[in-house]
Structure 1
Amino acid sequence: MMDFGQQFVIQNSTLLRSDHGKKDFFLLQSESGLRVILQLILPIIFLLLLSIALPGPVHAADDALAQKIHQIQDFSDRNNEEGIKQLQQLKQNLPPNASAQARLNLIEVLSGLLYDAGRVKEANALYDEYKSLAQQLNDKETLVLISIFDAFDVYEKSGFDAANEHLDKLAAEVEKRSSVVRYRYAWARAQLSFAQGKFDGALKQYLLMLDLIEQLPRRQLQARMYTWQQISNLYLSGLKDAKKSYEATTEALAVSSALTMPKAYVEILIVRGAALSQLKRNHEALKEYDTALGIARQEGLPFAEAAALFNIADQYLILKDYRRAEQAARDSIAVSERLEDKFSKMGAQVNLGLALAYQGKIKQGVDLVNESIEFFRKNSGKQAIESINGELAAMYESAGMYKEALVLMHEKQALSEELYQAEQAKESAKLQEEFNAEQRKKQIELLGKDNALKDADIRNHRLRQMVTLLASIIAALAGCFIYMLYRRSKKLNAQLREMNTQLEFHAVRDPLTGLHNRRSFITLMSTRVARVENERREGPYGNPDCMILLDIDHFKHINDTWGHSVGDMVLKEVATRLRSVVRDEDMVMRWGGEEFLIFSPKSNPEQITNLVERVLRTIGEDTFMHGNLPIPVTVTAGFISVPFSDVPEDICDWERALQIADMALYLGKTHGRNRAYGLAKLLVPHEDAIPTLTHDLAAAIKQNMVEVIEVLGPPQTQAHV
C-alpha cells in the first residue's frame, strides 16, 4: 500500500467555479497520511445554494410562472440537461408582464444547472445579467445576497481579514432579511472559516444552517442534504475525523434519494468514499466511488464525474491495481480537459504518471508527474508538491532506484520544514495576539476599577468635610474594597503565569510523548556557535556533540495492521525507552511522525557506538505489548558527531551534519533495517569530501572518503511483513 494517496473531495456545486482562473487550492493531510485535495474555486458568478428560490413579492401574473420554474427546478434534480432546455425556452418566451422577481428567480436556477453541466461560460454570462438586473431594479433582497458573495472577491484581492470585515458590516442588514439570505450568509461565514482553518467556527455556522433550514420556503430536503455533506467534508478534511465524517454522510443519506436528487446524492457518496478510504476500508470506498461515477454519468454531472474518476484512480493505486488506476486517471483527465479545469487535470495526471511508473514505464510516468509538479510550483502548491514528492519517492524505492528516492525525500523534507516553520510562525503570532488581547483586556478592567476608586476617593474627601464619622465608615469600606481588588488582581496574575507556563510547555513539547519537539531543538541550536565557543572542550576528541536520528521500522504497517491507537502506544513506549538509556544532560526529541532525535552534548565518540547499541537493543530486544497483543518493534538510525572529524562548523554545521545522519539512516533502511550507520571520520581532506558527502553518502563511501560504523540491532524471532 502506498504511503500517501490523493483524493479529490468535490464540494457541492454551490462552491463556485469558472474559467476565470480564480482558484484557491487547499491540501489537508489526514492522520493516516492520506492527502485530501480540497478544491475551493470562487469566481465572480452567482450560483444558488441548491438553487433555493428567493422569496420575493408575488404578483398575480407570476403565480403560474413561478410554479413552472419550481416544477422545472425539481425536475432538473433528476434530469439536468432537460431542465436546462426547458428553462432556456421559458426564458426566451417570458411574458412582457413578468415581474423582476420572476426573472431573477429564473436566472438563479438556470445558472446553477448550467454550471452542473460544465457549461461555465454560459453560467458566468448569466451572472452578469443577474447582477445588472438586480441593480437596475434596486431589489434589496437580491443586492444583499450579491454583497454576501462579494466577500469572496474581497478575499481574493485583500485576504481573509478584509473578507470577514466585509461580512461583519453586512450582519445587521442580513438579520432584517429572509431565512434564505440568512442561510447563505451562514454558508459564506462557514466557507471562509473552513479555508482559514478555523474548523470550530465553520462547524458552528453549518449547525446554524441546519436550524435555518426549517424556515426556508421550499426545497428544505435539498438544503439539508447539502448542509450534511458540508459537515461531513469538514470532519474529513478539516478536523481529520474520518469516523465522524462517515457518520455525517450516513445522516445525509438517510434523507436522500439517488432517484429524486442525484446531484446532491453523488457528492455525498464521494465524501463518504474518502472517509472510508481513510478508515482503511478501501474496497467499500471503491464501491461508493463507482456508484457516484455511474450516477454522475447518467445525470450529466461532469465535475462530479471527474472527481469520482480521480478518487477511483487513487483507490486503485492504494490497492496496487495499476492497470485500472491508469484507465481511471486517463478518463479523469479527459473529463477535466472538456471542462477546461487545469487544476483537476494536473491532479489526475499525477495518478496517471504513478500508475504508469509502477507498471515499469518509469520515464513516461515520471515526466507526467514532473509536469504536474511544475504546474503546482507556479500556482503556489507547495503542499501539493510535498505530497507528490512522497508518492514519487515511494515509487522509486519500490523500483530499487534508491538514489532518486533519496533526492526526492530530501526535497520533501525541505518542503516539510518550510511549511512547518510557516505554520509555526502563523500559530505563534496568533497565540501572541490572543495573549496580548487578554492582557489589554485585563489592563483596561484594572484601569477602570482604578478610576472608580479615584472617583470614590474624591467623593469621600468631600463627605469627610461634612460628616467625619460617615467619612471614616466610607474609608473603611473603600479599604476593604481595595483589599478585595488586590486579592483578585493577585489571583488573576497567578492564573496568567500558569497560562504562560502551559503555553511555554506546549510550544516546546510534543503532546503525545511529552518529549521535546523540533522547535525546541532548533531554538537550542540557534545559540550553538556562541555557546560552544564559550565552553572549554577537553579530551583527545574535544568532546564533540553527537546526534542520533532514529526512525521506527515499518511503522505504517503497525498502524495499518493494529490501528492508530496501537501506533500511538508504540510512539509513547519508544519515547519512554529512549529516555531510560540516555544521560540526564542528553535531549530526546520527537522529530516528526515516527522519527526521533537524540542530542548528546559533550560526548566521547568512542562511547557513542555503545549508546547507539543500547538504543537498538532497548527498543528491539523486548517486544512491545498492547494488552495481550505482542507488537514487534525495531528502529533504524544514523549518527554523527558535531563538529565532525575536525571539520570547522562554518563548513559542516549541525544542519549539514543532521542531513548526513539522515542519509546514514536511509542507508540503514536500504540494508535491511534494525541497524544503525554512523560516520567515524573522514579519510580524505574535508575540501574533497564534504561536497560529495553532503549530497550522496553512498558515493562518498564507495570512493573511500569516509569511515562508516555499522551497529546491528538485536536478532528478531519474527520478521516484519
Structure 2
Amino acid sequence: MACQRTKNLHSLVFAFFLAVSPLSVADLKSDQARLEAIQLLSEKDNQAALKQLKEFYSELPPNSEYQLRLDVLRELSAAYFDAGDIAESDKINLEILNLARARQDKETVAVMQIDDAFKLRDAGKYEPAIAKLNEVAASLKGSTRADNLLRLESAYAMIYRAFSKFEQALSHQLEALRLTDQLTQRKTLAKIRRLDALASLYLLMQNPEQTLLVANEALVLASQVDSPKIIAGLRMNQAMALCDLKRYPECLVAYERSLNAAQEANLPKLEALILSNIADLHLRTLSFTRAEMVARQALKKAELIQDLPSIYNAKANVGFALGGQGKIAQAMEFLNPVLDRARDLGDKADLEAVVGEIGRMYEHAKMYKEALQYTREQQKIANELFRADRSKTVAALQEQFDADQRKKQIELLARENQIKDADIKNSRLQQIITLLGAVLTIMGGIFIYMLYRKVKQTNERLEEVNQQLEYHSVRDPLTGLHNRRSFLDLMKVRSENVEHDRREDDGESPDCLMIMDIDHFKHINDSWGHSAGDAVLVEVAKRLRSAVRDSDMTLRWGGEEFLIYAPKTKPEMLMPLVDRVMKSIGSTPVIVGNNAIPVTISAGYISLPFSGVPEEACNWEKAMQLADMALYMGKVNGRNRAYGLLRLLAPYEQALPELERDFSDAIRQGLVEVAIIQGPATSQ
C-alpha cells in the first residue's frame, strides 16, 4: 500500500526540490499521476502493474523525490508479494529500510520493523513479536500519519490472531477500521480491506454468521471501486463462512466467483489457495474425483510460482482425493512428502492432523493394520502436543469458563428481576385488597376472595417457573438426563463425605464410573441427518435409564458421550452392569422414520476408590481420566466394546504414573488387570 504524505512533509519536499533539483513541479505531478494509475491497475491486474512498477522504478533518476521513491518501492514490494515472490518482496523491503535510514526517516524505519514482528510470529515467538510491535508503537507515539498507525493496528490484530488472542485481535482490528476514516487517499479501498480482515477474524472465531454480515457489507462498498483483487478476498471469506454453515452449493458458487476475480487480477498465489479450498470442499462432500481434478490444478499453479506451503497443501488434497477413491498406493505417493515436510519443520499440529486423516483413510479402505499404526502415531503426537500446550489450554478453558459464568450470572439476574417484578405486583394486589375491605365489608370480602385466588395462582405460577428453572439447570435439554453440572455438584458433595463413607462401608461396595461414546456418530449425522442424530441420542438416553438402577445417575457428558455413576456397586455386580448397558444399546437398532439405524457404543469403566488406592492419590477426576483412556482403547481396537480397569497388579506409586504416561504399554507390562466386554453383534 502506498504511503500517504502529510501536508508539512509535502511542503518541505517541494521547497527542497525547487531549490536544488532540476526536476520541475510538472515532473513531480506527472510521476504522482503515473503511480496512482499503476495503483489502480494493481487492483485489476497484478502482473501488468508489477511490470509497469519495475519500469517506473528503473526510470527514476538518482535525485528523484524521496517520498515518490518510497511510495514506488512500497507498491513494488506489495506487487511481488501478491505475485507469490516473497523473496523479492523481502529484498525490496530491505531497500526501503536502508533508504529510510539514509534519510533519517525515523517513522518509516519504525514501520518497516513490523516485518521483524511477523518473522517472530512465524517462528512461534508470541511474546517477542508483541514486544517488537510495542517498540514500534513507542516510536510512532504522537504520529499524525493515519496510514502508519493503521499498519501498526493491523499488525497487532494479525499477531494476536495468530496466537488465538481473539479479544485483543478484534479490538485492534476495529481500531484499524476506525483509522480508515482519517486517511486522505484511497479511503474506500482501505476500509474494504479492513472489513475483509475483520470478516476473516470472525471466521477464525467460529462466527460464520458475523463473517457473512461483514463480508456482504464490504461487497456493497466494493461496488464503488474496480478491484478484482478485493473481490477475490471477500468472496473467499464468504465461501469459507458458507462452508462452515454447511451451505455447500452456495459455498461453491462463492469460491468460483473468488477464483474468477483472482484470475482476472492475475494473482497466482491466491488462485492456488482458492483452488485448494475448492478441492477441500469436494473432499467434505465426498466428491473425490472432482476433488482430485481441482487439487491437481492447485498443485500445478503452486508449482508454477514455487510457493511451498501451497504445493504441500495441494499434494495433501490430491492424496486424500485418491485415497477416497480407494487408490491408496497412489495416495501415499503424494502424502508421504507432506508427512516428511511436517516432520522436518517440527510442525506437530499439522503432522497430527495429516496422520489422523491418513489413519481414517486406511480405516475407510478397511486396511485396519495400517489404520491402527497411524492412529497410534496420531495418539503419540497428540499426547506430546497436550503436554506442551497444557498450561495454554487450561488458561483458554478457564477464560471460556469465566465467560460462560458471566453469561449465566446475567441470565440469573434477569430471572431475579422477573421474580421481583412479580413480587411487586403481589404487593400491589394486597394493598388493593386492604383498601377495598375498609370501604365495603361485604363487597370487599368478595373482592378479597377473588384477588386472593389471583395472588395464589400467580404464586403457583412463580413456583412452577422456579421448579422448571431448577430442573433445566441440572438437566440436558435434549435427552432429559442429568448434565455435567449436576455431576460436578454431586462429586463435590462426595469429596466432602469421602472419609465418612470409607469408614461406613470399608471399601466393600465402591462406586462405579462408566463413560461411553456412540460409535460412528458423525457417520449417522452425515448419512441420516442431524434430526436423526438427535433421535439416536434421545433413544440411547432412554435405553441407558432402563438398564441401570434407580439409584444410579445417568448423564449426558457432552456431544455423543454419556456417563453412568453407580454408587455402592458390589464388585461382582460391576461387569454384569456393563454388559447389560452394552446390550441395551446395541441389541436392537434405533428406528427413525422408515430407517433402522444400528447403534453401538464404546466404553471405559472403573471403580472408585480404585483398587484400594487412597483417593488422595486417585480421586474421581483421575479415575475419569483412566476410564476415558480405556474408552479410547475400545475405539482403536474395533469399537463396540468396553474396557474396564479391575485392579492394579503393582504398587500404585509405580502403576499410576505408567498408566497416565502410556495406557497401552502399562497393560502390556502387566501393571493393571483389564476386562473387555464385547458388545452385541450388529449389521454395521
Q: Tell me whether the two structures share a fold, i.e. TM-score over 0.5.
A: yes
State whether structure 2 residue 196 is matched by structure 1 residue 229.
Answer: yes
1:63 aligned residue: 29
Q: Which segment is superposed worse, 240-249 or 402-411?
A: 402-411
State whether structure 2 residue 208 is matched by structure 1 residue 211.
Answer: no
| 2:634 aligns with one of 664, 671, 677 | 664
Does the C-alpha gap of structure 1 residues 521 and 676 become closer, same or farther in structure 2, counting only changes over 3 Å? farther
Q: Deviations over 1:440-474 (max 9, x none)?
A: xxxxxxxxxxxxxxxxxxxxxxxxxxxxxxxxxxx
Structure with larger RCO (C-alpha < 8 A, sep 6+): 1
CA apart distance, 1:311: 0.9
CA apart distance, 1:517: 12
1:166 aligned residue: 132
Does the C-alpha gap of structure 1 residues 519 and 326 become closer, same or farther in structure 2, counting only changes over 3 Å? farther
Does the C-alpha gap of structure 1 residues 578 and 341 become closer, same or farther in structure 2, counting only changes over 3 Å? farther
Supply the distance in 1 between the matched residues of 2:575 and 2:258 (Cα, whole angstroms).
57
Q: Which has the larger radius of gyration?
A: 2
State whether structure 2 residue 582 is matched by structure 1 residue 607.
Answer: no
Does the C-alpha gap of structure 1 residues 73 and 82 become closer, same or farther in structure 2, counting only changes over 3 Å? same
Supply the distance in 1 between the matched residues of 2:246 and 2:317 (Cα, whole angstroms).
19
2:209 aligned residue: 243
Q: Which segment is superposed worse, 97-106 or 398-407?
A: 398-407
2:238 aligned residue: 272
Is the Cα contact below 8 Å between 1:52 and 1:218 reproduced in 2? no
TM-score normalized with structure 1 length: 0.65
Q: Deviations over 1:469-525 (max 9, x none)?
A: xxxxxxxxxxxxxxxxxxxxxxxxxxxxxxxxxxxx9xxxxxx984279999999xx
Does the C-alpha gap of structure 1 residues 136 and 579 become closer, same or farther in structure 2, counting only changes over 3 Å? farther
The amino acid of 2:237's aligned partner reads V
Is the Cα contact below 8 Å between 2:208 and 2:241 reproduced in 1? yes
CA apart distance, 1:260: 1.7
State whether structure 2 residue 159 is matched by structure 1 residue 189.
Answer: no
Supply the distance in 1 between the matched residues of 2:163 and 2:37 (Cα, whole angstroms).
38
1:515 aligned residue: 484
The amino acid of 1:57's aligned partner reads H
Q: Deviations over 1:207-227 (max 9, x none)?
A: 222221121121122212211
Does the C-alpha gap of structure 1 residues 278 and 625 become closer, same or farther in structure 2, counting only changes over 3 Å? farther
CA apart distance, 1:368: 2.7
State whether structure 2 residue 355 is matched by structure 1 residue 389.
Answer: yes
1:360 aligned residue: 326
CA apart distance, 1:407: 3.8
Does the C-alpha gap of structure 1 residues 377 and 624 become closer, same or farther in structure 2, counting only changes over 3 Å? same
Is the Cα contact below 8 Å between 2:604 and 2:629 reproduced in 1? no
State whether structure 2 residue 70 is matched by structure 1 residue 104.
Answer: yes
- Structure 2: runs of 5+ lacking an equivalent: 15-24, 402-472, 474-480, 493-501, 615-621, 648-658
CA apart distance, 1:100: 0.5
Is the Cα contact below 8 Å between 1:183 and 1:209 reproduced in 2? yes
SS at match of 1:214: helix
Supply the distance in 2 between the matched residues of 1:156 and 1:213 (Cα, whole angstroms).
27
Does the C-alpha gap of structure 1 residues 346 and 54 become closer, same or farther in structure 2, counting only changes over 3 Å? farther
Matches for 1:638-657 after TM superposition, within 5 Å:
638-639=603-604
Supply the distance in 2 between the matched residues of 1:215 and 1:565 (Cα, whole angstroms).
51
RMSD: 5.3
| 1:92 aligns with one of 54, 58, 65 | 58
Matches for 1:393-542 after TM superposition, within 5 Å:
393-420=359-386, 422-428=388-394, 514-515=483-484
Is the Cα contact below 8 Å between 2:482 and 2:553 reproduced in 1? no
State whether structure 2 residue 71 is matched by structure 1 residue 118.
Answer: no
State whether structure 2 residue 291 is matched by structure 1 residue 319.
Answer: no
The amino acid of 2:169's aligned partner reads A
State whether structure 2 residue 267 is matched by structure 1 residue 301.
Answer: yes
CA apart distance, 1:379: 2.0
1:480 aligned residue: none
CA apart distance, 1:328: 1.8
2:440 aligned residue: none
The amino acid of 1:234's aligned partner reads L
Q: Deviations over 1:251-285 (max 9, x none)?
A: 22112259821112112222221111111112222
The amino acid of 2:354's aligned partner reads I
Does the C-alpha gap of structure 1 residues 398 and 259 become closer, same or farther in structure 2, counting only changes over 3 Å? farther
State whether structure 2 residue 299 is matched by structure 1 residue 333.
Answer: yes
Supply the distance in 2 between the matched residues of 1:162 and 1:270 (Cα, whole angstroms).
31
Does the C-alpha gap of structure 1 residues 77 and 429 become closer, same or farther in structure 2, counting only changes over 3 Å? closer
2:429 aligned residue: none
Supply the distance in 2 between the matched residues of 1:383 and 1:522 (Cα, whole angstroms).
34
| 1:202 aligns with one of 169, 177, 192 | 169
2:118 aligned residue: 152
The amino acid of 2:234's aligned partner reads I
Q: Which segment is superposed worse, 255-264 or 600-609?
A: 600-609
Does the C-alpha gap of structure 1 residues 76 and 668 become closer, same or farther in structure 2, counting only changes over 3 Å? closer
Q: Deviations over 1:100-134 (max 9, x none)?
A: 11110111111111221223333222112111111
Q: Deviations over 1:510-563 (max 9, x none)?
A: xx984279999999xxxxxxxxx9999777xxx787653421245325655898
Does the C-alpha gap of structure 1 residues 428 and 209 become closer, same or farther in structure 2, counting only changes over 3 Å? same
SS at match of 1:404: helix
CA apart distance, 1:332: 1.8
Percent of counterpart pairs with the same letter?
33
Does the C-alpha gap of structure 1 residues 522 and 67 become closer, same or farther in structure 2, counting only changes over 3 Å? farther
Is the Cα contact below 8 Å between 2:521 and 2:533 reproduced in 1? yes
Does the C-alpha gap of structure 1 residues 707 and 147 become closer, same or farther in structure 2, counting only changes over 3 Å? closer
CA apart distance, 1:90: 1.6
SS at match of 2:10: coil
Is the Cα contact below 8 Å between 1:546 and 1:608 reproduced in 2? yes
CA apart distance, 1:187: 0.4
The amino acid of 2:484's aligned partner reads L
CA apart distance, 1:416: 4.0
SS at match of 1:232: helix
Aligned residues: 570
Supply the distance in 2 between the matched residues of 1:576 and 1:234 (Cα, whole angstroms).
41
Is the Cα contact below 8 Å between 2:643 and 2:674 reproduced in 1? no
1:473 aligned residue: none
Does the C-alpha gap of structure 1 residues 303 and 156 become closer, same or farther in structure 2, counting only changes over 3 Å? closer
2:229 aligned residue: 263
Does the C-alpha gap of structure 1 residues 562 and 363 become closer, same or farther in structure 2, counting only changes over 3 Å? closer
2:412 aligned residue: none
Supply the distance in 2 between the matched residues of 1:159 and 1:535 (Cα, whole angstroms).
55
1:380 aligned residue: 346
Q: Deviations over 1:403-433 (max 9, x none)?
A: 3334433443444454445444125468999
Supply the distance in 2 between the matched residues of 1:421 and 1:680 (Cα, whole angstroms).
24
SS at match of 1:57: helix
Q: Deviations over 1:139-196 (max 9, x none)?
A: 2332232234443345567932233233334435344231111111110111121112
Structure with the largest fraction of helix: 2
Is the Cα contact below 8 Å between 1:513 and 1:571 reproduced in 2? no
SS at match of 1:218: coil
CA apart distance, 1:383: 2.1
